[in-house]
């Protein structure tokens, strides 16, 4: 999906685009009408709605299990990373402390402060004890909704002490408080990293170990191209840099929003970071609601390059489904792939096919099948490509697109060579026959 390069912007092109106060009582569920349930325990709290179930550990306020109705798992497969333990998503850090710091490792107390028909709000509290943040009060407020993959998160840093507290890293004057999106998958090469700085989105496979100037981060994200799972964080505060880590890591792929360093004044000074966290499949509507439409568009575009008969071809798709399992079958004159996403959701797909690979005509038209059933489509074309657009309702589906002409097993460019070889073989055989006849005479 492109190369990570500050001069190269990931763009997405499509012919057709459719879119788009109760104190906690441990082990007693607090039910909210609309399908939202909160279950508190001593060292964790579970929040569940019809779309998402997320278990938040009191250590660091990090998800230790995070599953969706589609069966996506966003946290439980986290790998261990030294002092941090498992590198669960949403770990945050004030790098004035040694890594990974108290915000990540501290054991927070919490209370359920709201539970009505549509939302549940949980407040987590911790006071730092270690230099140079001793006395800093950390409050994390998470607000969940009955029908959303995403939730809101506020991180409040309050200084009740008589001295200033700085968030600045001693090893890089650009870096202050930061928060991380992390994804897990084997192999790691199947994890995309992405972010948007200003109006420019970047999205690519494991963009390495890099710290890049990003003074206007809008969002950061990790995407599992194999399963379609997304962890993303929308950002409101002024940022400084973005940290990318993945290709050489053994624990997964990570992207970190790093905010400008701040000095928190004594006797009640505070800073609030406002974040919106998305965890789920590629859902155009909800990603738009969290101001991540460019992420949705970037992930909607997939390119499937391959070689046949020594020639290079590329079929592309643009869809709000997760596209996996692409296959080209020359004998069957078809391309096929799997489409997955939220069950029952109406979705679209636009497929671009080179005419040198596969085509049809007016008397023998294209056939598009979803799980073996013929579905309608809209066709457009130019001199070199055919564009097929169709809609369907999500379930576990295999899509097959069948043409009437397919690239030969041997490309036209090889035919002269093939004829020469045949002629040469024929000549050799003829000479052998003639030689044998002379010997017999």
Averaged pLDDT, 2-19: 33
Domain edge (last residue) among 299, 325, 354: 299
C-alpha to C-alpha distance for 202 and 207, rounded to whole angstroms: 10
In the chain, how many domains are there? 2
Q: Tell me if 81 sits within 8 A of 87, measured CB to CB.
A: yes
Domain that holds residue 117: 30-299
Look-up of token digits 């109760």: 22
Residue 131 has pLDDT above 90, yes or no: yes
The reply to whether 258 and 197 lie within a common domain is: yes
Residues 264, 325, single domain; the answer is: no
**Residue 413, in any domain of the structure:** no
More confident residue, 373 or 436: 373
Same domain, 258 and 362: no
User: Distance between CA 118 and CA 24 in Å, rounded?
Assistant: 18
Whether 398 maps to a domain, the answer reads: yes
Q: Which of 14-28, 58-72, 419-433 has the lowest mean pLDDT?
A: 14-28
Residue 431 binned pLDDT confidence (cut-offs 50, 70, 90): low
Residue 184 lies in a domain: yes
Domain assignment of residue 335, yes or no = yes
Q: Give the containing element (helix H, strand E) for 401.
A: strand 397-402
Confidence of residue 441 (pLDDT cuts 50, 70, 90): low
The answer on pLDDT for 393 being more than 90 is no
Please, are residues 396 and 374 in contact by the beta-carbon 8 Å criterion? no
Distance CA 438, CA 358 (A): 51
Q: 211 with 329, same domain? A: no
170 with 317, same domain?
Answer: no
Summarised one tens digit per residue, pLDDT across range 17-34 is 333 333 333 334 444 445
> pLDDT tens for residues 276-329?
999 998 888 999 999 999 999 998 998 899 999 889 999 999 998 888 889 999
Please report whether residue 415 resides in a domain.
no
Question: Contact, 238 vs 259, CB < 8 A?
Answer: yes
* Measured distance CA(219)–CA(257) in Å, rounded: 8
CA dihedral 216, 222, 223, 226 (to 10 degrees): 160
Q: Answer yes or no: is pLDDT of 367 > 60.
A: yes
Whether 327 and 205 map to the same domain: the answer is no
Sequence-separated contacts (24+) of 370-373 with Cβ below 8 Å: 370/339, 370/397, 370/398, 370/399, 371/395, 371/397, 371/398
Q: Are residues 79 and 150 in the same domain?
A: yes
pLDDT value of position 321? 84
Q: What confidence score (pLDDT) does residue 412 get?
A: 52
What CATH number does residue 78 fall under?
Answer: 2.70.98.90
Output the pLDDT for position 323.
87
For residue 213 the two structure tokens come to 């100037």
Token pair, residue 76, equals 């439980």
**Closest by alpha carbon to 358, among 325, 404, 318, 312?**
404
Same domain, 367 and 253: no
pLDDT at 103: 98
Q: What whole-number percentage of the chain has pLDDT above 70?
A: 83
In a domain, 177, yes or no: yes
- Do both 363 and 285 map to the same domain? no
Q: Minimal CA–CA distance to 86: which of 60, 68, 108, 109? A: 60
> What does pLDDT average to over the chain?
86
| Nearest Cα to Cα of residue 304 among 283, 325, 282 | 325
- How do residues 160-180 score in pLDDT, each as one tens digit? 999 999 999 999 999 999 999
Length of the chain: 441
Buried b (16+ CB within 10 A) or exposed e, 138-160: bbbbbbbbbebbbbbbbbbbbbe
pLDDT at residue number 409 = 74
Q: Which one, of 63, 85, 83, 82, lies nearest residue 73 by Cα?
A: 63
Same-domain status, 235 and 333: no
Max mean pLDDT range (82-91, 130-139, 216-225): 130-139
Question: Residue 83 carries which DSSP code?
Answer: G
Instruction: Tell me, yes or no, whether 267 and 320 share the same domain.
Output: no
pTM, whole model, 2 decimals?
A: 0.80
Do residues 214 and 92 both lie within one domain? yes
**pLDDT value for 162:** 97
Residue 422 is assigned to a structural domain of this protein: no
What is the CATH classification number for the domain harbouring 364? 2.60.40
437: in domain: no
Give φ, ψ of 302 to 5 degrees.
Answer: -130, 135
Instruction: Indicate the residue among 267, 299, 331 that finishes a domain.
Output: 299
| Contact in structure between 315 and 354 (CB atoms under 8 Å) | yes
Among 260, 277, 299, the domain boundary falls at 299
């Amino acid at each position: 999906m492109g190369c990570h390069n500050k001069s190269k912007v990931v763009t997405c092109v499509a012919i057709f685009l459719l879119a788009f106060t109760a104190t906690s009582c441990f082990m007693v569920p607090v039910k909210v009408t609309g399908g939202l349930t909160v279950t508190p325990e001593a060292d964790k709290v579970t929040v569940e709605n019809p779309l998402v179930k997320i278990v938040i550990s009191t250590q660091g306020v990090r998800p230790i299990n995070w599953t969706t109705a589609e069966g996506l798992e966003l946290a439980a497969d986290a790998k261990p990373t030294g002092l941090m333990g498992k590198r669960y998503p949403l770990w945050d850090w004030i790098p004035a402390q040694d890594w990974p710091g108290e915000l990540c490792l501290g054991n927070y107390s919490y209370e359920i402060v709201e539970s009505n028909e549509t939302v549940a709000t949980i407040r987590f509290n911790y006071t730092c004890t270690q230099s140079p943040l001793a006395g800093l009060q950390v409050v994390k407020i998470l607000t969940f909704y009955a029908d959303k993959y995403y939730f809101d998160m506020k991180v409040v840093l309050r200084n009740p002490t008589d001295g200033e507290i700085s968030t600045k890293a001693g090893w890089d004057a650009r870096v202050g408080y930061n928060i991380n999106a992390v994804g897990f998958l084997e192999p790691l090469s199947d994890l995309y990293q992405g972010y948007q700085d200003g109006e420019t989105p970047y999205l690519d496979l494991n963009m390495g170990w890099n710290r890049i100037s990003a003074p206007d981060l809008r969002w950061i994200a990790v995407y599992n191209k194999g399963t379609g799972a997304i962890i993303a964080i929308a950002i409101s505060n002024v940022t400084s840099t973005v940290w990318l880590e993945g290709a050489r890591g053994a624990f997964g792929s990570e992207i970190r929003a790093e905010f400008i360093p701040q000095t928190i004044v004594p006797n009640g000074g505070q800073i609030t970071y406002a974040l919106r966290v998305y965890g789920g499949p590629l859902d155009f509507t909800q990603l738009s609601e969290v101001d991540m439409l460019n992420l949705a568009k970037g992930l909607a575009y997939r390119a499937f390059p391959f070689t046949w008969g020594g020639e290079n071809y590329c079929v592309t798709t643009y869809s709000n489904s997760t596209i996996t399992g692409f296959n080209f079958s020359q004998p069957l004159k078809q391309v096929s792939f799997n489409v997955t996403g939220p069950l029952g959701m109406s979705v679209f797909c636009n497929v671009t096919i080179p005419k040198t690979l596969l085509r049809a005509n007016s008397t023998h038209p294209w056939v598009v099948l979803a799980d073996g059933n013929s579905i309608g489509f809209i066709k457009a074309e130019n001199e070199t490509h055919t564009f097929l657009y169709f809609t369907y309702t999500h379930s576990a589906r295999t899509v097959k697109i069948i043409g009437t002409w397919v690239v030969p097993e041997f490309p036209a460019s090889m035919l002269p060579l093939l004829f020469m070889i045949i002629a040469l073989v024929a000549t050799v055989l003829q000479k052998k026959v003639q030689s044998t006849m002379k010997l017999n005479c």
